[in-house]
Amino acid sequence: MDIENLIKDTFTAREHDAPDGDAVLAAARHRIDSRRSALSRPLAVAAGATVLSLGAVTGVVLNRPDSAEQSRTVAAGAQSSQAAAGPAIADLRMPYSLGWLPPGTVAYRTQRINVGFGAAGPQAPLYGGEYMLTVTEGGQELFVDVQQFRMTDVDRAAFKSGPGAPLTIKGQRAAESSVSDGAGGYELYVAHPDGGSMYVHVSAGQGSTAPAKQLVEAGRRIAENIQFPGATTVTPSYGLRDLPAGMRICAFSVDPGLADRVPAPRGPNTSYSLGTCTVLPTVLITSAAAHDVAGTPGKPVQGHETRYVDDNGYHRLWILNALGETPIFVAGEVPEAELYDIANRLVLPH
């Protein structure tokens, strides 16, 4: 079985135990699709961009070339402060970068990132990653969604507006939506050189209008400027270090958080899936658990109180107040001692 499906099935099967997995991300996606969520913090994107976390700001910033030197200076100061307080939280690398976006102020509503590595190809991403952004210029708002579908090729592309039309993007087979200024906006699938496809979606935001020509031109140009391999990284709200032998990060997700979650986590919501990346089981780690903390007091983790539950061999551990008032949730079908061992390897903000 493909490890992508293994990880997806695990998140799905344990949504009730790990509520900040696909359930929360799906809720965020629903809000984006229905145009009801509020805008998040601004960011700017350009070719060869690097994601940097600016001090206590909970958003993630991608810098245009004209601000790169200033961003490096800010980043260096932030890293120096963190180094003085404790281990640095390592950035997570995206498998591709967005080399171009429409002009305007760029903000991401939700950024979902899933990437892992297989034993047969240590550098090949299992999940391709996804950018979900808004671009505002002169009162007009555009929604942009870019993601990689490893299991869907151009011939199986499905469009919200109906049948697609074939075209070529930088020598690669592609298909685009036949109706671009309707409710579904403009959609494009272009063949990925390593199999599957890249998906680009551009549409007008709520209360905005955009002619089909603008959406088509923007979507095609975004697709033409996707850069492999990616130089973009993202700073999570917490990290991991020195994982046990045979265990590594198989997938991760980072998003700026849902506005109605109280208390809000310190930094972007971050989730990891750990394991061998070839077989189950996996260990899920997530911030901003949506359900009430449960269980009985467990052993302290890095000076924090915990709550622990053994659900017929599926162990769940809440590390209280790990991110401000927000707990971190660790769960998996692994021995209790291993779960605590992983929890003590978390790199928390200071």
Segment 116-164, tens digit of pLDDT = 554 555 544 455 688 999 999 999 999 999 998 877 889 988 898 878 8
Task: Sketch the domain layout of the chain as residue ranges.
Answer: 3-227, 240-347
**pLDDT at res. 337:** 96
Q: List all residues 6 or more positions away from 69 whose beta carbon is below 8 Å from its beta carbon.
A: none
Residue 99 or residue 195, greater confidence: 99
Pick the CATH number of 240-347 from 3.30.200.100, 3.20.20.70, 3.30.70.1170, 3.40.50.261: 3.30.200.100
pLDDT digits (tens, 9 = 90+) for 155-174: 988 898 878 899 999 999 99
| 3-state DSSP assignment of residue 219 | helix
Instruction: Give the pLDDT score at 76.
Output: 35
Predicted confidence at residue 256, as pLDDT, reads 75
Please report which confidence band the pLDDT of residue 276 belongs to, taking 50, 70 and 90 as the band edges: confident
Closest C-alpha among 106, 128, 107, 126 to residue 116: 126
The yes-or-no verdict on residue 292 having pLDDT over 60 is yes
What span, in angstroms and rounded, lies between the C-alpha atoms of 253 and 271? 5
Predicted confidence (pLDDT) at residue 44 exceeds the cutoff of 70? no
325 pLDDT band (50/70/90 cuts)? confident
Report whether 111 contacts 234 (CB < 8 A).
yes
Reading phi first (left if > 0) and then psi (alpha if -120 to 50, else beta), residue 239 is in beta
pTM of the model: 0.70
Q: Of the candidates 343, 344, 348, which has an alpha carbon nearest to the alpha carbon of residue 284?
A: 343
**If you average pLDDT over every residue of the chain, what do you get?**
74
DSSP assignment of 293-324 equals: P-SEE---BTTB-EEEEEETTEEEEEEEEEET
Closest among 207, 229, 40, 47 to 132, alpha carbons compared? 40
DSSP code at position 155:
G
